[in-house]
A and B are shown apart, each in its own frame.
Chain A
Amino acid sequence: MRARTVVVAVALAALLVALPWLLPPFYANLLCFIAIYGGVATGLILLTGYAGLVSLGQGAFYGIGAYGAVVLAGAYGVDPWLSLLLGTALAAAAGYLVGLPILRLSGHYLALATLAWGIVATILFTQLASITGGANGFTNVPVLRVFGIDFVDPARFYYLTLVFAVLAVAALASLIRSRAGRAVRAMRSSEAAAASVGMEVGRIKLQVFVLAAALAGLGGALFAYFIAFISPSTFDLGASIRLLTMAMIGGAHPLGGVVGAAVVTLLDDVLQNVIPNGSGQAGLVQVIAYGAILVGLMLASPRGLEPVLGRLWPMRFRTAPARGGRGPGGRGPGVPASGGRGPGVPASGAPASGAPASGTAPARALLEVRGLGRNFGGLQAVDGLGFDLRAGEILGLIGPNGAGKTTAFNVISGLFPPSEGRVLLGGDDVTGKQAQHMARRGLTRTFQNTALFDMSVLENVMAGCHVHTRGGVWAGVLGLGRADEARAEREARRALERVGLTELDVRAPSLPVGKQRLLEVARSLAMRPLAVLLDEPAAGLRYAEKRELATLLRALRDEGLAVLLVEHDMDLVMNVADRIVVMNYGQMLAEGAPEQVRQDPDVIAAYLGLDAA
């Protein structure tokens, strides 16, 4: 397999290098455009295709890079090569400043904000005429040269653009397979679940935005040197939409940008040749064609060419072959792997802060809930709820429909803050803190609708390791942090072994629901949590699957994990819980051992209903 990849790569490289010689001279021009747009579109694919942030304003960063580079070189005599770097830096800085406020928006509000930003940038390019040459454009573009070689002829300039495109594609491919790439993809699948494994969603979005802006800036700078003339209309809304079209056609794949750029550029060329009237009519038909393409694409194939590209160059995370000698694989749940470490104890052996060493009875509860209340515009969903959760116990939270269990659960796990009351974790007040914060302190949750990430089983669990590994977007691009990744992979495999899942490469959402639940538990375990909150884990499970889950939970409890279970399924709760808290109308109705609670007349009345007098 490796050898074949090398051969393909070498052949491809040779082909790319030889292209200008193989094709008629005119095509060198096209190749340059394709490579430049391809690189910029690759950044947009990271932003839109992978991170799900639609931008209708990439043209602005494209323009900032272009103007930045040639103005510095042409008007201020900066070395052209240095100006490329500076132009990119300017675009990145703009990306940071613009991203900071607008990334608080999402969905179409975000898209509209980027649209506004793009228009403002175009106006600024036109108005700051003293710097940019205004509507007439900037012509004082010096020539890029190195060791006496001028990069003017398209066939020669092509190699610069080729390097740019290759770098962009390689950067994206590397990033997507790194820890940060996993975080981006996780965020796209479910921001709530990403937060629950400790990912700083806001920071990731900003980093991705800046990276896309930087790529756009570098592409713009190269473009300016290539054309040797730029004007504000080159970077207007039309350009942004064109880039978006390329990204949509290519789809969410590292090659998507280049492929989309090739399709659009060639289409433009064909239209110019087919429409005889010269640039006027062709430009018009282009516009209508783009419109039709965008609409048609969204209706017919919103994922663009990604399925095709994905088969050509699969972006699967390569799992290292299982190493023998660590004990037989495929063990059932509940039997700890030999030498396996329990939760709350990191690999280094030193106990995590606040966690009691397994085996000793804790003096104070791990999770304390005091007087918790939550109000929704007049409706008191939770009222004065209080209980303790200790390490090494399973607490069941039950109650009839509408009792407030889910609200209480969401407040405790940090999805939204309470209106009254306090939550203490390991003695520290974490009231109102968000899920990411809880995750870093050792509290994690599962979701009723199994918020699994759209990636393989193994990658899902590795995402759980996010909270105790390092490596941001830049590290991902450069391919650093391999050691951390290897460690994360080992830990993920261990967690999967614990829960008894063996198909590691399968796409998580395609698993049957019983296995999905186990996967969520494995992902939580990978975080080395102190406490796990499970949201209706039995929903949709068959009897055998429930038994499997129960056995696993009991094993985890025996190792010192604290488990809080919100459940409707009485079979599971009564079987597994050490203690039960019953809620009704937002308040605590009863608390005690399962048998006790089941026979409590108040509880029976709450569930089966009062006698209609």
Chain B
Amino acid sequence: MTTGTALFLLVTGLTNGAIYALLGLGLVLIYNVTRVINIAQGEFVMLGALTAVGLTTGEATGGITLAILAGAAWALLALLRRRRWSLLWLPVVGGALLWWGVDAIGPFHLPPVLGVLVATVAVAFVGAALYRLTIQPAAGAGEVVFLVITTGLYLGLQGLGLLFWGPGSFSFPSVHGGQIAAGGVRVSYQSLFVLVATFAVLALLWLFFERTLFGKALRAAAMNRLGARLVGISPERAGLVAFAISAGISALAGVLIAPVTYATYDMGLGLGLKGFVGAVIGGLSGYPGAVLGGLAIGVLEAFAAYTTSAYGEAIVYALIIPILLLRVVATRRGAAT
């Protein structure tokens, strides 16, 4: 392996790893606040990528439809449960009218930046709605029940992805075509952008959790559910926000990676699992750990794929087992002393 190849693999690995890091962050956020391990995390990536594609190319705009449907279900639930018209109906009905009205006039292309923004918001909304519809009603059930629920969500969302966008692969315009040469290797602008954007997101998240009261309240809800309730933080609302932020981050990750690896309806599971491996390396509780773990997995995967091709992927998945075992041993030892 030449230095050039090694550097190239490193850059590829870090680029993919940045995505895994974002996914890992989303997973850790949801796990900390709600104790749910979200098997469907990768599906938010897929939805974000494909919705953005749809909005900018004017074809296959299923993501928005999904958001409207989910919102309608949520509002309906509120109506049935509490017998009152929730404010949700406004964006749902308004969004539906706007959406289908515009669609009737003719396909339109949003500029990419706007497309990304709308897609992220829509997927974040779907995340919150899914929490309200499928996770919150099962509150108090064992962790295994939640696992099966999120497995069901994975299946359902992947199926809807196939339904809305078909089996093909889609690309999304890069931030800037072309590459720069650095240290003897060509790095695409998109890869650089991915890395920069990831760290920007990390920085924003850090600011949110460390410097705003709301962010600290979310951390508090994750640390101590009872304590949070006793200062007025509702665990349901915390879960809602956690799912929304997590889905939004994942959607953004999808948009970032789509220009590099193309978006398909089934891209979710692999990404989600690798994000999970990274998160577990970091202990499933700490955010820096999830980021470093994700980056590490990305790099490992790149090198493994180069040296052993298909087995590389098997190695990465197989790593889940020893990592989980080590984690359990480490936690036990920590608790015992």
Contacts and interface: CB of A to CB of B under 8 A. Distances in A.
Touch A–B, Cβ below 8 Å:
yes
Interface of A: 52, 54, 56, 101-102, 104-105, 107-109, 111-113, 115-117, 119-120, 123-124, 126-127, 237, 241, 244, 248, 284-285, 287-288, 290-295, 297-299, 302, 375, 377, 416-417
Nearest to A286: B159
Given A101-B321, A116-B273, A377-B337, A298 B310 contact: no
Contact of A284 (B39, B152, B163, B311): B163
Given A109-B328, A127-B311, A288-B159, A298 B143 contact: no
Given A120-B314, A299-B137, A290 B152 contact: yes
B152 A291 contact: yes
Contacts of B269: 237
Given A292-B152, A295-B152, A298-B148, A107 B143 contact: yes
Contacts of A123: 310-311, 313-314, 317
Interface residues of B, number: 44
Contacts of B157: 291
B6 interface: no
Given A54-B147, A101-B325, A115-B273, A298 B141 contact: yes
B134 to A, nearest CB: 5
Interface in B37-63: 37, 39
Contacts of A297: 148
Contact of A295 (B142, B156, B158, B336): B156
Contacts of A126: 310
A208 to B, nearest CB: 16
Given A101-B325, A112-B37, A287 B276 contact: no
Interface in B116-162: 134, 137-138, 141-149, 151-160, 162
Interface string B287-320: 0000000000000000000000011011001101
Contacts of A111: 144, 147
Given A112-B320, A123-B314, A288-B156, A241 B151 contact: yes
Contact of B328 (A104, A115, A117, A302): A104
Contacts of B336: 416-417
B155 to A, nearest CB: 3
B324 interface: yes
A120 B325 CA distance: 17
Contacts of A115: 39, 273, 320
Given A112-B320, A115-B320, 16 more contacts: A54-B147, A54-B148, A107-B144, A116-B273, A117-B318, A120-B314, A126-B310, A127-B310, A244-B151, A288-B155, A291-B152, A291-B158, A295-B134, A295-B149, A299-B137, A416-B336
Given A105-B328, A299-B134, A294 B155 contact: yes
A105 B144 CA distance: 13
Of the candidates A56, A290, A298, the one having the most CB atoms from chain B within 10 angstroms of its own CB is A298
Contacts of B149: 294-295, 298-299
A28 to B, nearest CB: 29
Contacts of B39: 115
Nearest to A106: B328
B325 A105 contact: yes
Given A104-B328, A237-B269, A244 B148 contact: yes
Contacts, number: 122
A102 B160 CA distance: 33
Nearest to B154: A291
A119 B328 CA distance: 22
A292 B134 CA distance: 10
B321 A102 contact: yes
Contacts of B153: 291, 295
Contacts of A52: 144
User: What 4 pairs across the A-B complex have the smallest Cβ distances?
Assistant: A291-B156, A294-B152, A291-B155, A288-B159
Contacts of A287: 155-156, 158-159, 162
B37 A108 contact: yes
Nearest to B162: A284
A112 B324 contact: yes
Contacts of A127: 310-311, 314
B165 to A, nearest CB: 11
A82 to B, nearest CB: 30
B73 to A, nearest CB: 12
Contact of B317 (A54, A119, A299): A119
A126 B310 CA distance: 9
B265 to A, nearest CB: 10
Contacts of B148: 54, 244, 248, 294, 297-298
B273 A119 contact: yes
Contact of A108 (B144, B158, B318): B144
A288 B163 CA distance: 9
Contacts of B318: 116-117, 120
Given A56-B151, A116-B318, A298 B138 contact: yes
A54 B37 CA distance: 14
Nearest to B337: A377
Nearest to B327: A109
Contacts of A108: 37, 143-144, 146-147
A109 B325 CA distance: 9
Contacts of A416: 336
A241 B317 contact: no
Of the candidates B154, B156, B310, the one having the most CB atoms from chain A within 10 angstroms of its own CB is B156
Nearest to B328: A105
Nearest to B265: A284
A289 B37 CA distance: 22
17 contacts: A101-B321, A101-B325, A102-B325, A104-B328, A107-B144, A112-B324, A116-B318, A117-B321, A127-B310, A284-B159, A287-B155, A288-B159, A291-B153, A291-B155, A291-B159, A292-B156, A299-B134
A116 B321 contact: yes
Contacts of B320: 112-113, 115-116
A290 to B, nearest CB: 5
Contacts of B159: 284-285, 287-288, 291
Contacts of B154: 291
Contacts of A105: 324-325, 328
